[in-house]
Structure 1
Amino acid sequence: MSVAAPTSASEEEQPTPPFAARTVVRRLRSHAFVAVAALAMAVYVTHGLWQQPYTNVIADNVGDQAFFEWVLSYGVHLLRDGGDPFFTTLMNTPLGVNLAANTSITVFAILFAPLTVLAGPQVTFVTILTLNLAGSAFAWYLFLNRWLTHNRVSAAVAGLFCGFAPGFVSHANGHLNWTSGWIAPVVLWRLLKLREKGHWLRNGAILGVLLGGFFTIAAEGLFFTALAGGVFLIVWSLSRTTWPEARAALPTVLAALGVTAVVAGALLAYPLHMHFAGPQTFKGTGFNQRHYAEDLGSYFSFSERSLAATVGLGSDLAPNPTEATSFFGMPLMVLVIASLIMLWRRADPGRRVTLRAVTVVGVAFLLLSLGPRLNFMGDETDIPLPYALIQSWPLFDSALPLRFALVLVGVIGIVLALTADTLLDRTVVPHPAHTAFATAFAFALIPIFPLPLVYRERAPEPAFIANGTWEQYVPDGGTLSALPFAINVAADGQRWQAYTMARGGRQFLIPDGYFLGPDLDGAEGKGRIGAVPRRTDWLFLRAALYGHITQVSNADRAYARADLQYWDIDALFLPPTITGPTGPLYRAALEIVATDLLGEPERVDDVLVWRIRPGTDPVDR
């Protein structure tokens, strides 16, 4: 049996035109039902943000939401004022930020720019997040329905699982890149289309264009998809049963892949150059790969944002709430193993090849997700794992191992689709085990039903920014910063800049920011989160995060003088409230430290402003 199974009886039987028309209507009605169900689920998961998109924020990842709002606003800036989509000096002045080495979601930023202008990046963020979740479920449904199953109900159940699996709901805590799970089925669909004879040029070009666009949305996810697709095709092709079919298709596939390489290479030449060799690039990642590795026990545990958690069965084995990438639960893992055994016994030789290839992909990516050393139930062991051999390879050195577990969502979705297809097949004589499997489906899937994202309020945009009063304090192209300087745990200053970009007009630069960059100023180094900190950064951040009031010394003032000159700052301001990673930060302590260091501020609108006038020394008191 080929990997490309017929999808419906209507396609095989070639019905008469009237019947065909009714079949098309039924198919479209089914598609519409699944699309509406997926969208309803996505709105349910994100409804806390929809209630108040301008003031509510994802509680477990304030920084990433601020970063993506900034990138969405930068798309408006690109369309209005021009610029480089993959590098900017608006942030982290004077060095700038290599956006190609970050998740710049350029395609999203450009496509949704009209919405960003109309409603602001806050609304655009939650819109894309919602559509990503719904689109992932619907895309997997269409893929499974087209290539694998005969019953649309089977594809719908598996598609909804793929779109709202615990790992992707976890990444909905701020990640517009990783919630783009629809990329995988779209790429796999086009990959399978490459073997169509006579269409190698068209199919290769389409895949090349898709890869060029998807790179800017989720480069890491695209890498995982390509890797998984490659492993599957190699295992499937080398089987004795399917080798003749694979050999016959090989010339067409290679020709199409050549076209894909040319088209994608042309589109990605500059982004890839910037990613690997551009200014402010870096090696590796700013995260510890041993820390961000999957715990073997998490595969059999339940997420803290699942229905099981409401009765006390949630687990905290993930490094943080955004990286709970597996958490399928014991019932589902047992169901998958039992389903593979059942499917294998019933399968013809061709289907067995497909099952073998899918299983190899699942096992391989499970092992990769465990990282360089085995972790079990919260403890790291001394047992080395395969990832230790490849963690320094290009691309693998920039990946977080636990994210490889997201590939298993697709693997499990395929197994669920095939199992449901077998159970719903009316041409098969019912077996006593069918009832047990149907019960197991409910027992396995109900506990991992997602809970809505946790949200809370964040600091509203100050009138000083919203009303444009800031323009009186900063010349065109000047530098302005909120206190504390923007970083992942205090990203308000980055948000204020984002909102001015979305509105158009004059812009200001900011020092620092939340991004990934090198750990050495102006030189390629290992990756780190944010800019290399200067002494004045820490002076303000310590006051905001911990309420620590430093007794400012002349040495502090000397360092501040040099730092302010380095950033070429025109003005600093302190908003009424400051958003932190878990709640408001210590504004009063920050005001005391800033006043001691910079002198008495001006009260303007709803903020305190310190002018840093050219030719004067604001810290020489």
Structure 2
Amino acid sequence: MAVAPTLSEVSDDDSADIETVDSEQPQRRRRAWPPHILAVLAFLGMGYWITSGIWADPARRSVLYNEGDHSFFEWVLGYGVQIVAHGADPFWTGLMNAPIGVNLAANTSITVYAVAFAPLTYLAGPQVTYVTILMLNLAGAGIAWYAFLLRFAVKHKAAAFIGAAFCGFAPGWISHANGHLNWTAAWLPPVLLWWMLRLRTPRRWLLNGIVLGLLMAAGFSIAPEMLFDLVLAVVIFVLVWSLSRDTMPQVLRAAPRALLSLVIGAVVAGALLAYPLYMHFAGPGSFKGTGFDQKRYVEDAAAGLFYPFRSLAGFFGIQRGDLAANQTEGASFWGWPLLALMVIATVLLWWRAGRSRKSTMRALTVVGLLFMVLSFGPRLHWFAKEYHDIPLLYAVVRDWPIFDSALPARFALVTTGVIGITVALLADRVFSRRYRSYARVVWGVAFVAALVPIIPTPVLTSGRATEPKFVADGTWKKYVPRNGVMSALPFSSPSAADAQRWQAYTMSRRGEQYRIPAGYFLGPGGLAGTGRAGAPSRWTDRMFLKAALTGFVDDIDNYDRSRVREDMAYWGVEAVFVPDKLTGTAGPLFRQSLIRTTTDLFGPGQRVQDVLVWRIRPGIDPQSIPGEGRDGHA
């Protein structure tokens, strides 16, 4: 969009001069701060409303449907304190997945957030920082879209507010609010688009390029997949818009300075991202493709006709949750009234536009439809049924670089942005024209019918175990040296992440640290060299996880003890502990089964504050470990 027109050119005033929008000395609009302040407060209030379940008790509440990602991002935020306080490598860590470590550049490690919010994390803990960022992501998206639409697309503040409210709190973003601090950063698209549009101006080309490079680097560190989707959408928009002979003179006129600024931006971003890009694609612990099944994480072609689970309509049971891969990846679910309104809006805005402005509307429509088709994935899904004999566009590009690492469903979020812009343009047209009373009533009913049912409701939460005093008080230091290997049981995994959370909270306090085996992260080990969630499992962690999740206790024999001895030596584990309370993604775990399994392997544990501790000597048979200090209490 570096050489594209502003979106206000799709208005119905054919006499408007295109160049007046981006002239060197634009006419300053009279400032009306009260409406803007009210809009900001409204978006902040909505962000708090969506996250209110977590705000009720950040230490004891987690998102219901994606506790694993919630815990992972808390770990990343805790690690941010280590980056700031001790100069830890932002893109590689040995604190998790001992003895190998984890490539954080290949994960959604939100480095900018982790560093920028490190002071808050140190003072209040990762739990508070997590919900703060989530709230600000949602509110910031609304604020950024409001400013963008008012600057480049519409004249009326009410139209900008309506479009921004949809763009910032659309069903797709609310779905990702279940654990994703990266994919809720929906303020990135309007901010980047704003600066891309500035590239058309001849003044401050150097500054514009530098700022764009900084924004691209920040965007990559927060949500690289979102950044890829946005850049792809901009390229397609510009190409489609440039095909018209009416727009070609504008392209030729603006291209030199825009390209110069783009080069500056690429140099700045490349310098900042050289190391993280190397780590992401070729560093130790990197992998090809994605750790998730691209055939599963797609949008059902029928999903857009229905309402989302967490919405006003969903609250009254008018929704189809079975059309999404899970509660976190429902990127469409706009409802048929909104889609019908979009058809009417597109026809109306196109019909009243001049030839140059039709080029803009054409490009916007193509981007929206193309990304919707991409979101359907490699094969058509219709009402939860996959049609293997109907290949789609993504089947062609799925093996291309970067596409092979993306999840198709998320492309629909670009379509969400197109819908939000179209909503704002239509609202601006309605507010600008002198309709008769009955016509205004009809338009009002249409907007209410389309938008009110998808008003979001708070993200659902569930209870979780709080940090044991054994960890919080630093008592663990008596059982393992600095940077030694210790873990809560079961070892951290996608279905039980407490062990990783306890380490995250320790990291946020700056002091001595311990390492953990396994963990919840993305790393190598998947099929055909692709990634997977977590480290490849071993005999011992499968045994502990089975006991914790199912309550089943294996009969321990010498073969089991031999395998445990090998695994403990591999990890270098020096101590393990079981807290009095522990939870998994499906709720409380079977603590007594876990204790019985551990006792059969290592003998009775030692009661220390609110945990049972077992000392481990790597390389020594567990049954030969002395029982000094064990009181047998379980």
TM-score, with structure 2 as normaliser = 0.93
Kept in 1: contact 2:225–2:406 (CA 8 A): yes
User: Gaps (5+ residues) in structure 1?
Assistant: 14-18
1:174 Cα offset (Å)? 0.7
Distance 1:107 1:58, change over 3 A: same
- The answer for the alignment partner of 2:347 in structure 1 is 341
Partner of 2:587: 583
Q: C-alpha root-mean-square deviation of aligned residues, in Å?
A: 2.0
Q: Take 1:371 and 1:614, find their aligned partners in 2: how far apart are those partners?
A: 47
What does 1:296-375 correspond to in 2, within 5 Å?
296-316=301-321, 317-375=323-381
Q: Please give the per-residue CA displacement for 1:137-189, whole angstroms capped at 9, x wherever unaligned.
A: 11011111111111111011100111100000010011000000000011111
Give 1:574's aligned residue.
Answer: 578
1:66 equivalent among 57, 67, 71: 71
Amino acid at match of 1:423: V
**Residues 114-129 of structure 1 aligned to structure 2 (within 5 Å):** 114-129=119-134
Distance of aligned partners of 1:74 and 1:406 in 2 relative to their CA distance in 1, 3 Å threshold:
same
The answer to which of 304-313 and 449-458 deviates more is: 304-313
Q: Residues 298 and 514 of structure 1: is their aligned pair in 2 closer, same or farther, counting only changes over 3 Å? A: same
Report the Cα offset of residue 433 of structure 1: 4.9
Give 1:12 shift.
Answer: 7.6
1 CA distance for matches of 2:227 and 2:418? Answer: 16
Alignment partner, residue 202 of structure 1: 207
Alignment match of 1:560 (pick from 537, 540, 564): 564
Q: Distance in 2 between matches of 1:353 and 1:431?
A: 33
Q: Does 2:503 match 1:497?
A: yes
Query: Structure 2 matches for 1:11-90, cutoff 5 A?
Result: 23-24=30-31, 26=32, 28-90=33-95
- Candidates 409, 415, 423, aligned match of 1:402: 409
Letter in 1 for 2:70: Q
Per-residue deviation at 1:615? Answer: 6.4
Q: Match of 2:219, as an amino acid?
A: F
Instruction: Report the equivalent of 1:16.
Output: none
Secondary structure, counterpart of 1:323 in structure 2: coil
Superposition map of 1:43-192 within 5 A: 43-192=48-197
CA contact (8 A) 2:573 2:618 kept: no
Amino acid at match of 2:71: A
Q: 2:246 corresponds to which residue?
A: 241
Contact 1:281 1:524 in 2 (8 A): no
Tell me how far 1:237 sits from its aligned partner: 1.7
Aligned partners of 2:212, 2:75: CA distance in 1, in Å?
Answer: 29
1:310 CA displacement = 2.2
Aligned AA for 1:123? V
Aligned counterpart, 2:232: 227
Deviates more, 1:608-617 or 1:91-100: 608-617
CA distance in 2, matches of 1:429, 1:89: 65
Question: How has the CA–CA distance of structure 1 residues 61 and 292 changed in structure 2, closer, same or farther, with 3 Å as cutoff?
Answer: same
Matched residue of 2:492: which SS? coil
1:406-450: CA deviations, max 9, x gaps? 111110011001100000004x56596554232111001011011
**What amino acid is the match of 1:101?**
A
Q: CA deviation at 1:477?
A: 1.2
Q: Determine which of 553, 556, 569 is the counterpart of 1:549.
A: 553
State the match for 2:629 in structure 1. Answer: none
Cα displacement string for residues 318-361 of structure 1 (whole angstroms, at most 9, x for unaligned residues): 11111111100011011111111111111222221111010000
Q: Distance in 2 between matches of 1:296 and 1:105?
A: 31
How far apart in 2 are the matches of 1:515 and 1:552? 30
Q: Deviations over 1:69-117 (max 9, x none)?
A: 0000101011111221000010001111000000111110111111101
Paired residue for 1:3? 6
**Residue 519 of structure 2 corresponds to which residue in structure 1?**
513
Amino acid at match of 2:607: R
Between 1:124-133 and 1:196-205, the stretch displaced more is 196-205
Q: Partners in 1 of 2:253 and 2:86 — Cα distance?
A: 52
TM-score by length of 1: 0.95
Given candidates 188, 193, 202, the residue that maps to 2:198 is 193
8 Å contact kept, 1:3–1:351? no
Q: Which amino acid aligns with 2:399?
A: S
Q: Which residue, out of 208, 217, 220, partners 1:212?
A: 217
Determine the structure 1 residue equivalent to 2:630.
none
Q: 2:609 aligns with which of 593, 599, 605?
A: 605
1:539 to 2:546 alignment: no
| Equivalent in the alignment of 1:459 | 465
Post-superposition Cα deviations, 1:465-492, rounded to whole Å, max 9, x if no partner, equal: 0111100000111001000000111000
2:450 to 419, 434, 444: 444
Query: Identity across aligned pairs (percent)?
Result: 52
Return the alpha-carbon distance in structure 2 between the equivalents of residues 364 and 294 of structure 1: 13
Q: Which one-letter code corresponds to 1:5 in the other structure? A: S
Question: Which amino acid in the other structure matches residue 442 of structure 2?
Answer: A
- Distance in 2, matches of 1:605 and 1:274, equals 41
Q: Say whether 1:386 aligns with 2:386.
A: no
Instruction: In structure 1, give the amino acid aligned to 2:116.
Output: L
Secondary structure at the counterpart of residue 283 of structure 1: coil
What code does the residue aligned with 1:487 have? S
- C-alpha deviations, 1:451-510, integer Å up to 9, x for none? 111111101111110111100000111001000000111000000000011011100000
Q: Is the 8 A contact 2:561 2:622 kept in 1?
A: no
User: Is the Cα–Cα contact under 8 Å of residues 91 and 510 in structure 1 kept in the other structure?
Assistant: yes
The answer to whether the Cα contact below 8 Å between 2:6 and 2:153 also exists between their aligned partners in 1 is yes
CA distance in 2, matches of 1:58, 1:43: 14
Q: Residue type matched to 1:384 in 2?
A: P
Deviations 1:498-555 (A, max 9, x none): 00110111000000000000007xx993100000100111100011111111111211
DSSP 3-state at the match of 2:8: coil
For structure 2, the residue ranges without an aligned partner over 5 or more in a row are 22-26, 626-634
In structure 2, distance between residues paired with 1:593 and 1:493: 17
Q: Report if aligned partners of 2:569, 2:619 keep a CA contact under 8 Å in 1.
A: no
Residue aligned with 1:424, SS: helix
Question: CA offsets per residue over residues 539-578 of structure 1, 9 Å max, x none?
Answer: 0001111111111121111110000000001100001122
